[in-house]
Structure 1
Amino acid sequence: MAHNYDNNGFGTRAIHAGQEPDPTTGAVIPPLSLSTTFKQSAAGVHKGFDYSRSGNPTRVNFETAVASLEKGKHGVAFSSGSSVTATVLSMVGAGSHVLSVNDVYGGTYRYFTKVAPVNGIETSFVDLKEAASIKEALKPNTKLVWIESPTNPTLRLADIKAIAEYTHAHGALLVVDNTFMSPYFQNPLLLGADIVVHSVTKYINGHSDVVMGVAVTNSDEIHEKLTFLQNSLGAVPSAFDCYLARRGIMTLEVRMQRHEENALAVARFLETHAKVTEVIYPGLESHPQHALAKTQQTGFGGMVSFRMDGTLDNVNKFLGKLNIITLAESLGGVESLIEVPAVMTHASLSPEQRAALGITDTLVRVSIGIENQNDLIQDLDIALKFAY
């Protein structure tokens, strides 16, 4: 019988939850289950698996681990973070209203505005810097509230506990995208969220070689709906991707500790630089929501955004001079990645929308990796000097 690790520490759960040695061979790492179908002892009688889209041993291993790390009961894995969004939205039905934080991830915004309306779902976007702002935005048919904290790329926080209270008083569900914090630094289910979602592609896998998503919940009813849709819509991850992501989870604790350590050092360096006009990092005392971050997070993560002096031309000179930090989209890998949201990850927003959110041409987002801290700071210093 599998051991329950729920009362153990994060690092122990990251290594052992769902990861029992193989009962037949004793293999410490369970074998990768690539089979698409499973032998039945009689018609309709099987050992818990019949067809790999409906359930796969390697996927269950991964789902069990993430649920444990998020202090949740059920994990449901998908082929991408975007497919998690689509599946969760499929729960609410035509004629429903969804309320989203205004500076939501660009891919989520695209789904809410371009795809959800086709399915009869309306979405409103609201600035939730003050949790009470949600009250005026809720409608009689609001079924779902979707937030990120911190947001991408401006690293604004939402008071998850307060928003959960307003949402539940209205009879709606709260979904929190916890991708930026990972389960190591924040557990939204403990703050009242009904569903926590992640782009597993980012910190949970952590090695920039898997595209995946996951949803975690404590509700049996929500879990039943999500697994039905997971099977029916079919946006399931491959067993190999689940194997890789489960392997990535084993080092999540030590990776997140190093990401944060490096990010804080980089943020403090950037704050002292004459050509940097603003540094946005929840771990800095200068962040307007630093106090809130300390109440709902156990750390501050590895994402840093900052504004450079000058124009996009200066930004491009700076980017072209970097040697260790790579110009690329995505985040959460062991390597440091840098991007310009206005022309990369958030280019699908209109200029007016970007301006309203503070996504200017000189706003730069960095996913701080786990390289040597001094090397990262030196790389940034040399490139910033070259840019002007």
Structure 2
Amino acid sequence: MSHEDLSPATRVVALGRQHRMPGAGVNAPLEFSSTYVADGPVNYARGGNPTWSAFEEALGSLEGGDALVFASGMAAVAAAFSLVDHGAVVVAPRSAYSGTVATLLNAERDGRFEVRWVDTADTAATIVALQGADLVWFESPSNPLLEVADLPALAAAARAHDVISVCDNTFATPLVQQPLALGVDVVVHSVTKYLSGHSDLILGATVTGQTERGAALRERLAHHRLLGGAIAGPMETWLALRGLRTLHVRLERATANARELASRLSTHPAVDTVRYPGFGAIVSIEVPGGADGAERVAAATELWTHSTSLGGVESQLERRRRHAAEPTSVPDQLLRLSVGIEDVDDLWADLDRALRG
């Protein structure tokens, strides 16, 4: 049976396993070794590890490409930006993950990149900005404003202008969208979030298409990983693969919860604005009282955890502008809700109580 014939829900369980033979383990091996016997496919662990390979096989299949695992999501981001040279023109969203924005601001300040800041939900304006650019960065939906970009149109325009396109697919996950199939060149993930799903590791990944162009980009990304040394630990990678096994059921439950909460929040008297793109498990809300009002809500919950990050089985909330690196395009009173897999009525009761003060 070809893996391509299997649904994503099956592939997250079936791929990245050992070959079936009598006595073989059901799970992928967890290999702790820094060096290997000569004349094999890998001679030193900075270049490869069987545990990496298992995870990369599974994620690559889900995204429809070839995956590389990195030490963190930011390591994967840095690898993607290494695809263009000093002085490159980068088109990037004004509102995106704060680590990505901070990286671009530093590069802009140091003269490494010229950055053209755009609203990637504005397709026409983004296409204009692509002229003469070298790389374009997408988040769809964006973090934390949950803006959605027209990826097929923008990817096609980027290809027409010979611009490398990169999409951070952390929020949507490959179960919701596969940017490579929409024409994007490189996919980036913070594996820390939904893919691993248990708030217990730091990991990142890139995925490139199975084309001549994709193979060339993958080679450059792998070279960056090899020389830069931002390599994943085998334990973290093994845990991420274990977490990936339940991605489908976790995301299905969390998304159902998020939809229900977004609907209830839309009529709540203590909520001014609800941002929800209709898919995924992130909901952002704006509450009265500015920064202080949002902080009071976040501090008042008992079941929801007031903490940063997202994508775990537990529900979390946070006022994003409490961080200095957060883009100023994010409202002071915005709370990002990472909806988990708990009972939705328990989540609602806790959140409603906090909102009512």
TM-score by length of 1: 0.88
Match of 1:317 among 296, 317, 324: 296
Match of 1:367 among 335, 338, 349: 338
Query: Could you tell me which residue of structure 2 aligns to residue 384 of structure 1?
Result: 355
Q: In the TM superposition, what is the alpha-carbon distance from 1:104 to its structure 2 partner? A: 1.6
Q: 1:259 to 1:53 in 2, by over 3 A?
A: same
Please list the CA deviations of residues 296-334 of structure 1 after superposition, one character each: whole Å capped at 9, or x if unmatched.
xxxx00000011122333323222221110000000000
Query: Could you tell me which residue of structure 2 aligns to residue 184 of structure 1?
Result: 175
Equivalent residues of 1:97, 1:139 under 8 A apart:
no
Query: Could you tell me which residue of structure 1 aligns to residue 130 of structure 2?
Result: 138
Q: In the TM superposition, what is the alpha-carbon distance from 1:138 to its structure 2 partner? A: 2.5
SS of match in other structure, 2:148: coil
Query: Could you tell me which residue of structure 2 aligns to residue 78 of structure 1?
Result: 70
Query: Could you tell me which residue of structure 2 aligns to residue 108 of structure 1?
Result: 100
Equivalent residues of 1:194, 1:217 under 8 A apart:
yes
Q: In the TM superposition, what is the alpha-carbon distance from 1:268 to its structure 2 partner? A: 0.9
SS of match in other structure, 1:181: coil
SS of match in other structure, 1:61: helix
Please list the CA deviations of residues 68-89 of structure 1 after superposition, one character each: whole Å capped at 9, or x if unmatched.
01122x1011011111111111
Q: 1:116 to 1:51 in 2, by over 3 A?
A: farther
Unaligned runs of 5+ in 2: none
Distance in 2 between the 1:234 and 1:138 partners?
32
SS of match in other structure, 2:251: helix
Equivalent residues of 2:127, 2:154 under 8 A apart:
no
Equivalent residues of 1:4, 1:17 under 8 A apart:
no
Equivalent residues of 2:298, 2:319 under 8 A apart:
no
Q: In the TM superposition, what is the alpha-carbon distance from 1:26 to its structure 2 partner? A: 1.1
Query: Could you tell me which residue of structure 1 aligns to residue 35 of structure 2?
Result: 37
Query: Could you tell me which residue of structure 2 aligns to residue 244 of structure 1?
Result: 239
Distance in 2 between the 1:24 and 1:49 partners?
26
Match of 1:348 among 317, 325, 329: 325
TM-score by length of 2: 0.95
Please list the CA deviations of residues 96-131 of structure 1 after superposition, one character each: whole Å capped at 9, or x if unmatched.
111112212110011111146547222221112221
Task: Confirm whether residue 334 of structure 1 aligns to residue 313 of structure 2.
Answer: yes
Task: Confirm whether residue 196 of structure 1 aligns to residue 187 of structure 2.
Answer: yes
Q: In the TM superposition, what is the alpha-carbon distance from 1:22 to its structure 2 partner? A: 6.7
Q: In the TM superposition, what is the alpha-carbon distance from 1:251 to its structure 2 partner? A: 0.3
Distance in 2 between the 1:119 and 1:54 partners?
31
Equivalent residues of 1:22, 1:29 under 8 A apart:
no
Q: 1:116 to 1:248 in 2, by over 3 A?
A: farther
Query: Could you tell me which residue of structure 1 aligns to residue 17 of structure 2?
Result: 19
Map 1:161-310 → 2, pairs under 5 A: 161-218=152-209, 219-283=214-278, 300-310=279-289
Matching residue's letter, 2:150? D
Matching residue's letter, 1:144? L
SS of match in other structure, 2:6: coil
RMSD between superposed Cα atoms in Å? 1.5
Distance in 1 between the 2:309 and 2:249 partners?
20
Matching residue's letter, 2:336? R
State the percentage of identical aligned residues.
38
Query: Could you tell me which residue of structure 1 aligns to residue 90 of structure 2?
Result: 98
Equivalent residues of 1:82, 1:213 under 8 A apart:
yes
Query: Could you tell me which residue of structure 2 aligns to residue 53 of structure 1?
Result: 46
Aligned length: 353
